């Protein structure tokens, strides 16, 4: 995970040119929702990645302009813009990774679940096009509510007869990024050297930071944990309130999405022991079909699910509290497609 962060931080540095640009290392990556608040900075970060040979930008408006703008940046990745529903399959065809930040953002007073009515249909349509045009691509969902949109995509892929649970991811990386940052602030550490697994889901109480499994090891008293954990869980709302109607977490989410995509590419080109947390099809928790845990990534997506690890009594209580919420969100996504 630290290697991914170093690559991101070198983004504008000439040192990027030391990376190999052989065909083995080059990947075609699509961003669905590339003109939006997350999509534009996400595309900027991916344009800087030396492992990206071709960047396909899709959205319903403004994509040619975004593509033209990014194409002037002095990195090897070729940029193409695709605008409108009729171009969706063409945008995805032949891609190795499809990252999906498409949808409407949260506004003050809204929960991620409030976005369901709009974003569910958007994810369904994008997943349908991806399943037809690039069934082997890794499908990485940022669009909220992730706890429901991942089941939606899975049901679409099942209906298309191309479902592979190892290739569909709910990108919950922002929860890890926030946990690393907040813990580092409290302990006076370099956040790039902190690693906090975050399991569960990607909304409210389903976000479960495993402080006991932090690297390096950190200790907090109960009073501090009682403030730290809710802050990690509600950090998205913190940003929504601070932006006062001007949007939700876009820049930090773009960073997190790029980090996850870059980790996938590192694993796909053969690097070993690439680990990221993500919300995926899982049997780690009884009664739930989806759950976020640390995953070893490989050429074909999920190579190994590392599970929950050893939990403290307090962390187990957080898991128990999250189960009913996750079960409801998962069923909502399944029902949306099947009914």
CATH classification of the domain holding 333: 3.90.110.10
Joined tokens for residue 12: 């504008």
Domain edge (last residue) among 154, 170, 186: 170
Confidence bin at 150 (pLDDT 50/70/90)? very high
Specify the pLDDT at position 113. 77
How many Å from the N-terminal Cα to the C-terminal Cα in the chain?
39
Cis ω before 23 (30° cut-off from 0): no
Looking at the fold, whether 102 and 196 belong to one and the same domain comes out as no
Identify which of 244, 229, 112, 103 has the alpha carbon closest to the alpha carbon of residue 175.
229
Q: Tell me the DSSP string of 130-150.
A: HHHH-TTSEEEE-SS-HHHHH
CATH number at residue 69: 3.40.50.720
Active-site residue set: 202
Looking at the fold, whether 123 and 212 belong to one and the same domain comes out as no
Pairing of strands 97-100, 138-141: parallel
Q: End of a domain among 152, 170, 188?
A: 170
Distance of alpha carbon 204 from alpha carbon 322, whole angstroms: 9
Distance between CA atoms of 215 and 271, rounded to whole angstroms?
21
In this prediction, residue 124 carries a pLDDT of: 98
Structural contact between residues 200 and 207, judged by C-beta atoms closer than 8 angstroms: yes
Q: What is the mean pLDDT of residues 266-277?
A: 97
Cα-Cα-Cα-Cα dihedral of 49, 157, 291, 179, to 10°? 20
> Which residue, 255, 258, 236, 235, is CA-closest to 247?
236
Residues 166 and 243 in one domain: no
Q: Are residues 8 and 145 in the same domain?
A: yes
In the prediction, which pLDDT does 110 show? Answer: 77
Look at residue 108 in the predicted model and tell me its pLDDT. Answer: 83
| Phi, psi dihedrals of residue 230, rounded to the nearest 5° | -60, -30
Measured CA to CA, the distance from residue 120 to residue 105 in angstroms comes to 13
Instruction: Pull the structure tokens for residue 41.
Output: 């900075």
Query: What mean pLDDT comes out for the span 60-79?
Result: 97
Q: Answer whether residue 81 shows pLDDT above 80.
A: yes
Q: Note whether 16 and 162 are same-domain residues.
A: yes
Domain with 334, as residue range(s), is 173-338
Residues 185 and 290 in one domain: yes
Residue 71 sits in the same domain as residue 113: yes
pLDDT tens sequence across 183-224 = 999 999 999 999 999 999 999 999 999 999 999 999 999 999
pLDDT bucket at 24, cuts 50 / 70 / 90: low
Residues 86-112 have a mean pLDDT of 91
Confidence category of residue 23, pLDDT binned at 50, 70, 90: very low
Judgement on whether residues 185 and 107 belong to the same structural domain of the protein: no
- Cα 194-197-201 angle, rounded to 5 deg: 140
The verdict on 116 and 207 lying in the same domain is no
Q: Domain boundary residue among 155, 170, 185?
A: 170
pLDDT score recorded for residue 29: 98
H runs (alpha helix) in the chain: 2-9, 39-47, 63-71, 88-92, 116-133, 146-159, 173-187, 222-233, 235-243, 251-268, 313-338
Q: What is the pLDDT of residues 278-327, one digit of tens each?
A: 999 999 999 999 999 999 999 999 999 999 999 999 999 999 999 999 99
Q: What is the pLDDT of residue 10?
A: 45
3-state secondary structure of 291: strand
Split into its structural domains, the chain has a count of: 2
Q: What is the pLDDT of residue 258?
A: 98
Q: Are residues 226 and 240 in the same domain?
A: yes
Shared-domain flag, residues 155 and 106: yes
Q: Round the average pLDDT of the chain to a whole number and report it.
A: 93
153 & 178 share domain: no
Residue whose structure tokens are 């929860």 = 175
Residue 9 has pLDDT above 60, yes or no: no
Sequential DSSP letters for 216-284? S-----HHHHHHHHHHHHTHHHHHHHHHTTS-SS-HHHHHHHHHHHHHHHHHHTT-S-EEEEEEEE--S
> What is the percent of the chain where pLDDT is above 90?
88
Task: Report the alpha-carbon distance of residue 168 to residue 163 in Å, rounded.
Answer: 9
Q: Is the pLDDT of residue 3 over 90?
A: no
Nearest partner of 118 among 128, 126, 130, judged by Cα: 126
Which of the four pLDDT bands, split at 50, 70 and 90, describes residue 5? low
- Which pLDDT score is estimated for 21? 42
Note the pLDDT tens digit of each residue in 106-124.
778 877 778 898 999 999 9
């Amino acid at each position: 995970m630290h290697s991914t962060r170093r690559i991101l931080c070198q983004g504008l540095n000439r040192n990027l040119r030391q990376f190999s640009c052989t065909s083995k290392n080059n990947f075609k990556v699509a961003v669905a929702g590339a003109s939006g608040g997350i999509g534009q900075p996400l595309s900027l970060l991916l344009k800087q990645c030396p492992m990206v040979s071709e960047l396909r930008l899709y959205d319903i408006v403004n994509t040619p302009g975004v593509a033209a703008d990014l194409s002037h940046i002095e990195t090897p990745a070729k940029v193409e813009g695709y605008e409108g529903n009729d171009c969706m399959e063409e945008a995805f065809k032949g891609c190795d990774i499809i990252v999906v930040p498409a949808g409407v953002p949260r506004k003050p007073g809204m929960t991620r679940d409030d976005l369901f009515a709009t974003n569910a249909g958007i994810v369904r349509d994008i997943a349908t096009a991806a399943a037809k045009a690039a069934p082997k691509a890794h499908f990485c969902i940022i669009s909220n509510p992730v706890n429901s949109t991942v089941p939606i995509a899975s049901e679409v892929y099942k209906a298309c007869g191309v479902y592979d649970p190892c290739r569909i991811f709910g990108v919950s990386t922002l929860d890890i990024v926030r946990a690393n940052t907040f813990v580092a602030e409290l302990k006076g550490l370099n956040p790039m050297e902190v690693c906090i697994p975050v399991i569960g889901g990607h909304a409210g109480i389903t976000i479960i930071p495993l402080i006991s499994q932090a690297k390096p090891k950190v200790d907090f008293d109960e009073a501090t944990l009682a403030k730290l954990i809710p802050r990690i869980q509600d950090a998205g709302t913190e940003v929504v309130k601070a932006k006062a109607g001007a949007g939700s977490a876009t820049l930090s989410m773009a960073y997190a999405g790029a980090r996850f995509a870059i980790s996938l590419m590192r694993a796909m080109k053969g690097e070993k022991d690439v680990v990221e947390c993500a919300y995926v099809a899982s049997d780690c928790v009884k009664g739930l079909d989806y759950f976020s845990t640390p995953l070893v990534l490989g050429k074909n997506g999920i190579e190994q699910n590392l599970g929950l690890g050893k939990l403290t009594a307090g962390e187990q209580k957080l898991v128990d509290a999250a189960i009913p919420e996750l079960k409801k969100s998962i069923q909502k996504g399944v029902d949306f497609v099947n009914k």
